Structure 1
Amino acid sequence: MTTYAQVCETGHILNHCPNTEWIAGDHNYCPDCGAEGLTECPNCQDGKIIVSEAVLSNEVELTRSDLPLYCGNCGTAFPWTGADENPQRINYQFVSTDLAEEIYYRNMVSEINRVYQVGADSATLVLVRKAIENSIIDILRNEYGMSDSHLFYDGSKGHHCGISELINNLDDRLDDFRGYNVGANQTLITRINELTENGNIEAHSVASNHSQADMDQYSEKADFVLSILFELKRRTREETNQN
C-alpha cells in the first residue's frame, strides 16, 4: 500500500494517510506559512502526492526531503521543487545506502540527498559529517554501554564528545569491532577523517567552490563510510540486545 500526503505549496507536510479520502484533514491552508494545502498535482489534478510506498502511521515524522519533486502522472514539478533545482543532479543520490534503519537516519540520508540535488554542496558535506558523528556515538554506546560513557559523552561538559575524540576512540578500539566483519578497519577511519575534515571546513567557510568531480569523489566516500557505520550500528545493537 501507499501513504499519501497533504502538502502546502512551499513544502510543509500538513498530514499523511494511506487513505486519500482522509488526508485533507482540517488544513486547507498551512498554519506555518499560509500557503494552500495540496493533495494532488495542481497541473493534472490526478497525480496524488505520495510520500512513501509503504503504510506509515501518523506518528512517523516526515520532512520536506520525503516529498517527490515531480508528479508521477504528468511529470510537472511540484510547487515546492523551486527554481533552484540542479537538473544534472535531480535523479542522483549523494548517499545511496539503504542500510539506515531508524527513521532519524533515513530522514538524514534523505536530507543529504535533497540538499545535494539543489546544489547546496556545503550543506551536503556538513550533514554527512553529522551523520558520521551520530553514528559513531550510537556504535560506541551500543558496544560499551553507559559504564564506559566517557568514550562518547563528556560528563564534565554535559555534552557528547567532539568528533575528533569520537573518531580516535573508535580507531583505538578497532580490534573490538573486527568480529562484526563489516569493514571496520583503517581504511574506514581514513575515509571518515577525510569526510569530517571537509565537513568541518564547510561549517566555517564563507564560500564553497567544489567541482562536480570533487563531489563525485566525496559521494563515493560518504556512501562507503555510512554503509559500514549503519551496518556496524545495527550489529552492535543486536549484540547488545542478545546479551
Structure 2
Amino acid sequence: MGGAVEPDSRSFIAALRGVANLAEKERGKQAETGLVKVESLRRVMEVEATSKLGDITALDAFLASALVDSYAKCGSLEDARRVASKMEPRHSIASLNALVSGYAENGKPRLAVELYRWIRESYPELLDVRTMLAGLKACGSLAALETVREIHAEISRAGVLSLSSSSSSRSPTSSSSSSSSSDGGALATSLIDAYGRCPHAQLCPLELPGIISRGPKGLQSPE
C-alpha cells in the first residue's frame, strides 16, 4: 500500500469553511476582547498548525484568507490580525478584506474603517468589490457618513455601478470585469444600508439614481 496522501491547501480551506459554519452555531463565551467561540477556535488553530510548514508567509493567499476569516468568526481578532499582517499585502488583499470584515463584525468598526483607508491609500490598485463591501459594513456600524461618501465615490470611479444618469453611456473601465450583476446588487444594497444608518444622509451630494427611488491601525492589535 502507498503512503498516506498529504492534504493540500484546498483540503485545509474546506476544513476551515466547515469550522466557520460550526462557529456560527456555537454559543461562545464572553471574554475581555468580546465573544469567543472556544471550541471552533481550537479547531482553527489545529488546522493552522497542521497546514503551516514553517514560516506563515509560505501559505498561499487563499489559505491565509480562509484562516483570517475563520479566526475572525471565532472572535479571535488577534489571531486574524497576526495571519494578515505577516502576508505581503499585494498578494493577500483577500486576507485584508477578511480582516476589515472581521473587525466590523466583532464590534471594532473604527479599526475596520482605519484599515480600509490604509488599503485605499497604500495600495489603491488592490481595491476590489469585497474591499468596498467590507468598508461599507464598517461604516454602517459607525454611521460614518463621510467615509460612506468616500467609498461611494470610489465605486463610481471604478465603474462598478452606474451612479449617474450619464455613466451608463460611458465606456467600461478597466475594473469592469469585477462588476457583475451580483456584485452591483450587493454594493447597491450595502450603500443603501450604510447611508440609511447615517444622520443627515439626505444631505449627501452623491445620489443613487436607478438604485433607490427616494430621498495602518487596522493591522495593529485591536484594543
When the two structures are superposed, what TM-score results if normalisation uses the length of structure 1?
A: 0.26
Q: Which has the higher strand share?
A: 1
Which protein shows a greater Rg? 1
The structure in which a higher percent of residues are helix is 2
TM-score, normalized by length of structure 2?
A: 0.28
